[in-house]
Amino acid sequence: MTGHVRVAVVGGGPAGLAAAAALAPRVDGPVLVLEREAATGGIPRHSDHLGYGMRDLHRFVSGPEYGRRLTARAAAAGATLETEAMVTGWAGDRTLEITSPRGRRTVTADAVVLATGARERPRAARLIPGDRPDGVLTTGQLQQLVHLHHRTVGTRAVVVGAELVSWSAVLTLRAAGCRTVLMTSEFPRPEAYAAFHLPGRLALRVPVRTRTRVVAIHGRDRVTAVDVEDLRTGRRSRVACDTVITTADWIPDHELARLAGLALDPATLGPQVDTALATSRPGVFAAGNLLHPVDTADVAALDGRHVAAAVLAHLSGTAAPPGPPIELVADAPLRWVAPQLLRPGGPAPARGRLLAWTDEFHRFPGVTAHQDGRRIGSARLAWPAAPGRALRIPFSVVRAARPGDGPVHLGLSV
Amino acid sequence: MSPTYDVAVIGGGIVGAAVARLLGGTACSTVLIEGRADVGDGTSKANTAILHTGFDATPGTLESGLVARGYHLLGDYAAATGIPVERTGALLVAWTREQLDALPGLRAKAERNGYTACELIDTSQVYHQVPALGPGALGGLTVPGESIICTWTTNLALATDAVNRGVTLLRGHRVTGVRADGGTTWLTTTAGDVGARWVVNAAGLGADIVDGLFGYHRFTVTPRRGELLVFDKLARPMAPRIVLPVPSKAGKGVLISPTIYGNVMLGPTAEDLDDRTATGTTAEGFAFLRAKGMELMPALLREEVTAAYAGLRAAIDRDDYLIDVDDDRRYVLIGGIRSTGLSAGMAIAEHVGGLLAAHLDLTERDGLPAPPRMPNLGEAGPRPYQDAAAIAADPEYGRIVCFCERVTRGEIRDAYASVIPPADLAGLRRRTRAMNGRCQGFFCGAEVSARVAHGGPR
């Protein structure tokens, strides 16, 4: 079985649904969203608490409600949303292999948008040693267990990480009747927004131990305890618990990007893209947390909206032939920046912002851009740079970059 | 009064299942007794899953002959049952002068073991065969016959075949005592007594303890912990074949092997322990493997780790298998079967059958059922999610539940409807690969556990 569509969007989360909603009314042919889960909506579907939709829908709704609204918009725009349809590989440059209960088939698209998102590194990928009992979960698994399957977890949890998603895990645990007895963070201060963190800590009464990490898990069938090491002193203590949630530590779900042989950014591990969100393969685009693991769902959705312009230009044949790009490089303490390529004459990135990830906290960070040893731009930000959440950098700092002068280095100045 | 059998086989690992399968093909009534909740849940589940030619065994030993014979028996059986096998071949890589000098001797040893296909190759040929190897390889020895195999399916196929042939399988029956009563030996288990004329001890890690119940004190099993790191499938092209270390005085070293599921494995460590249940991983083990990996294949270390395992091998204080028949007590010991037991299992069964033929009529019955067709867990052949005809006939094979491993709801349903259904989540994982992938349950864990909780599809 084979088919043809104008646009295939892989992934029916916020980025993919927003891309489909933006494209469907303006494309002269089918726009097909392929979602491997039984419902579209993506990760927000599993996060049954408020905080979604502020930047894109100007609403303040729950994750599931947000997923439903994005789904309704894409469907109303005329996109075809196919669920339980997993893209398992490529049969050509823009030809996808798809398995669903309706059959095994290939679909060739004139343009492909990859919006496959990101996942948390599980325990094994973090190399946390010890026994291998039940009760060690990622936030994603926890939230599906509790919110989609209405299962209980344990009664005493240790949450590894203190990022936004970690607090989301605490809320889910509380909803399931499980108390969080400790959150660990390797950073000197908790990563999450101060605004969420302080009331969060007070309201939820969760002790956060900074500069610590879980170094062993104990338990035969079920977790009984973890060992927590203080990174300053090396001292270890045992904390009794029956549940361990490994949170954050995101990695893009980049399998399709890699199988396609797309150029990857070594720092994000997602596909390397320019500010129009074009990948290294003509007609293949990417959006959302596949590119920046991770920012909030609404920022992913705005990526989806942003990618539409480049997709339309590609479909109409009016896309300018890509000039030689200028590469953006993140200098420590920045870990990555996205997008990574500037093209002369190219658009500003989504929301006029570059996204970056920092390993150090700065309350009022300055951002500088250097090219060929020369400072080409700088800005003092009104928001902190904090580990565990994306740092938004005004595109203006790199606007003066010149082709042929080599890569642009982005850094923080205190 | 509980029923008595002609033969009771203790241990539902690969060796025990192979023996039970053989006996099931005769007129003997046979019971297979497993202490754990599932077959293949001990040493048989966590080995390096290599189908060995026996090229590096000690010539003249029982192990040497049985591995070489078992290699062919299991290869044929895999073809008949659909146990996934990939004929990747192996390459021993020499990193030091001492190792390089040892290669010709290893080839001569392989020939004494009856394996004549090894070839010495130079540095450039080594890198041609495995381009991702780190710098410094001096030369190599090829072992084209070494293959990778699914150890879980092997165990399950043998046990399923045994049950199909009429063997009674008792899971969750840990043997705690032995009592002789005339011509019957009564085994006390955690779930009731089982009587048999003959008893075969294939208890693996517990074989010395069961031997002790028969009054013997002839060997001690030392649990040897081997930790393994399994890397993401995207690393698979780096390991087109098995890369073996050259054994030297400094120790056995670690190997890099493709897995039948499309991953790459690095390990194992080797650590002698006292605790026969210590299957935890350690920070030291990880550090050791990462350091070794950095030398062997630095690019591999940049890939994600999908899983970290620790398995226990049943090392004994002698350099060969210990297989012995006690005519008076009608008792057979199959001891000291270390990691080569996967390859040798069917030959061990044949050997034991030969020893027992003097006491029991082991003529093969007519009208035996055909060997079972096992679900394909391997990446070498088509899996259900890729099979348009299977999906068209049954849409459940198109409904992917575990995205990373592409396991469908149809396969999970089939596992629960099979001759030996899973007893728990771990058993389901061994039968289907569900939740064994890179996300380790981030996406599918809740769905899969729901199926386990309901004992199958809802």
Which residue in A has a C-alpha nearest to residue B303's C-alpha? A125
Per mean pLDDT, which of B234-243, B267-276, B314-323 is the most reliable? Answer: B234-243
Mean of all residue pLDDT scores within chain B: 94
Q: What is the pLDDT of residues A280-319, one digit of tens each?
A: 999 999 999 999 999 999 999 999 999 999 999 999 998 7
- Per residue, what are the HEC states of B241-286? CEEEECCECCECCCEEEECCCCCEEEECCCEECCCCCCCCECHHHH
Q: How far off is chain A from B297, nearest CA to CA, in Å?
A: 18
- pLDDT-derived band at B252, boundaries 50, 70, 90: low
- How large a percentage of chain B has pLDDT more than 90? 84
Contact status of A123 with chain B (Cβ, < 8 Å): yes
CB contact under 8 A, A151 and B306: no
Average pLDDT on B268-281 reads 86
Other Cβ atoms less than 10 A from the Cβ of A91: the count is: 14
Contact status of A57 with chain B (Cβ, < 8 Å): no
Of B388, B398, B450, the CB nearest to A101: B398
Average pLDDT on A375-394 reads 93
By mean pLDDT, which of A325-329, B113-117, B222-226, B250-254 is the weakest? B250-254
CB contact under 8 A, A129 and B279: no
Contact status of B282 with chain A (Cβ, < 8 Å): yes
Q: Please tell me the distance from the alpha carbon of residue B53 to that of residue A237, in angstroms, as a whole number.
A: 48
Residue type at position B275: D
Average pLDDT on B121-134 reads 98
Of the candidates A312, A308, A273, the residue with the CA atom closest to the CA atom of residue A289: A273
* Among A residues 133-152, those touching chain B with beta carbons less than 8 Å apart: 134, 137-138, 140-141, 144-145, 148-149, 151
Q: Higher-confidence residue: A48 or A268?
A: A268
Contact status of B288 with chain A (Cβ, < 8 Å): no
CB contact under 8 A, B403 and A251: no
Q: What is the pLDDT of residues A241-268, one digit of tens each?
A: 999 999 988 999 999 999 999 999 999 9
φ/ψ of B321, rounded to 5, equals: -60, 155
CB contact under 8 A, A120 and B442: yes
> Which of B443, B448, B449 to probe by mutation at the A interface, max A CB count within 10 Å?
B443
pTM: 0.94
Residue B236 has pLDDT above 70, yes or no: yes
Contact status of B458 with chain A (Cβ, < 8 Å): no
* Residues A41 and A67 sit within 8 Å (Cβ to Cβ): yes
Chain B CB contacts of A88 below 8 Å: 385-386, 406
Which residue in A has a C-alpha nearest to residue B308's C-alpha? A124
- pLDDT-derived band at B445, boundaries 50, 70, 90: confident
Residue B457 has pLDDT above 50, yes or no: no
Q: Residue B171 has what pLDDT?
A: 98
* Among B residues 409-428, those touching chain A with beta carbons less than 8 Å apart: 425
Chain B CB contacts of A149 below 8 Å: 446-447, 449-450
| Cβ burial A50-63 (10 Å sphere, 16+ → b, else e) | ebbbeebbeeebbb
Residue B419 has pLDDT above 50, yes or no: yes
Contact status of A124 with chain B (Cβ, < 8 Å): yes
* Residues B78 and B154 sit within 8 Å (Cβ to Cβ): yes
Mean of all residue pLDDT scores within chain A: 93
Chain B CB contacts of A42 below 8 Å: none
Contact status of B107 with chain A (Cβ, < 8 Å): no
Which residue in A has a C-alpha nearest to residue B302's C-alpha? A266
CB contact under 8 A, A104 and B386: yes
Which residue in A has a C-alpha nearest to residue B232's C-alpha? A125
Q: How far off is chain B from A396, nearest CA to CA, in Å?
A: 34
Residue A82 has pLDDT above 70, yes or no: yes
Contact status of A130 with chain B (Cβ, < 8 Å): yes
- pLDDT-derived band at A189, boundaries 50, 70, 90: confident
Q: Please tell me the distance from the alpha carbon of residue B293 to that of residue B287, in angstroms, as a whole number.
A: 10
Of B280, B308, B443, the CB nearest to A119: B443
φ/ψ of B145, rounded to 5, equals: -80, -20
Tokens 């325990």 -> residue: A123
* Residues A144 and B447 sit within 8 Å (Cβ to Cβ): yes
CB contact under 8 A, B282 and A129: yes
CB contact under 8 A, B438 and A99: no
CB contact under 8 A, A122 and B439: yes
Which residue in A has a C-alpha nearest to residue B233's C-alpha? A255
CB contact under 8 A, B234 and A255: yes
Reduce the DSSP state of residue A95 to 3 states and report it.
Answer: strand
Contact status of A86 with chain B (Cβ, < 8 Å): yes
Q: How far off is chain B from A112, nearest CA to CA, in Å?
A: 20
Average pLDDT on A81-94 reads 98
Residue type at position B114: G
Residue B1 has pLDDT above 80, yes or no: no
DSSP for residue B327: T
Q: Please tell me the distance from the alpha carbon of residue A263 to that of residue A305, in angstroms, as a whole number.
A: 23
CB contact under 8 A, B446 and A124: no
Contact status of A216 with chain B (Cβ, < 8 Å): yes
Q: How far off is chain A from B78, nearest CA to CA, in Å?
A: 27
Contact status of B450 with chain A (Cβ, < 8 Å): yes
Q: Please tell me the distance from the alpha carbon of residue B64 to that of residue B57, in angstroms, as a whole number.
A: 5
Residue A79 has pLDDT above 90, yes or no: yes
Q: Residue A201 has what pLDDT?
A: 62
The continuous run of DSSP H or E covering A80 comes out as strand A80-82
Chain B CB contacts of A148 below 8 Å: 446
Q: How far off is chain B from A140, nearest CA to CA, in Å?
A: 5
For residue A268, give Cα distances in angstroms to A201, A280, B118.
30, 15, 44
Q: How far off is chain A from B363, nearest CA to CA, in Å?
A: 44
Average pLDDT on B163-191 reads 97
Of A103, A137, A251, the CB nearest to B441: A137
CB contact under 8 A, A130 and B277: no
Residue B307 has pLDDT above 90, yes or no: yes
Q: What share of chain B is helix, strand, coil (3-state, %, to 5)?
A: 35, 25, 40
Average pLDDT on A159-184 reads 91
> Which of B303, B442, B444, B449 to probe by mutation at the A interface, max A CB count within 10 Å?
B442
Residue A374 has pLDDT above 60, yes or no: yes
Of B285, B304, B446, the CB nearest to A251: B304
Distance of CA B226 to the CA centre of its chain: 14
* Residues A217 and A226 sit within 8 Å (Cβ to Cβ): yes
Q: Residue A163 has what pLDDT?
A: 84
> Which of A45, A99, A131 to probe by mutation at the B interface, max B CB count within 10 Å?
A99
DSSP for residue A156: E
Contact status of B442 with chain A (Cβ, < 8 Å): yes
Other Cβ atoms less than 10 A from the Cβ of B360: the count is: 17
Structure-token pair, residue B222 = 């030392």
* Residues B228 and B267 sit within 8 Å (Cβ to Cβ): yes
Q: How far off is chain B from A3, nearest CA to CA, in Å?
A: 15
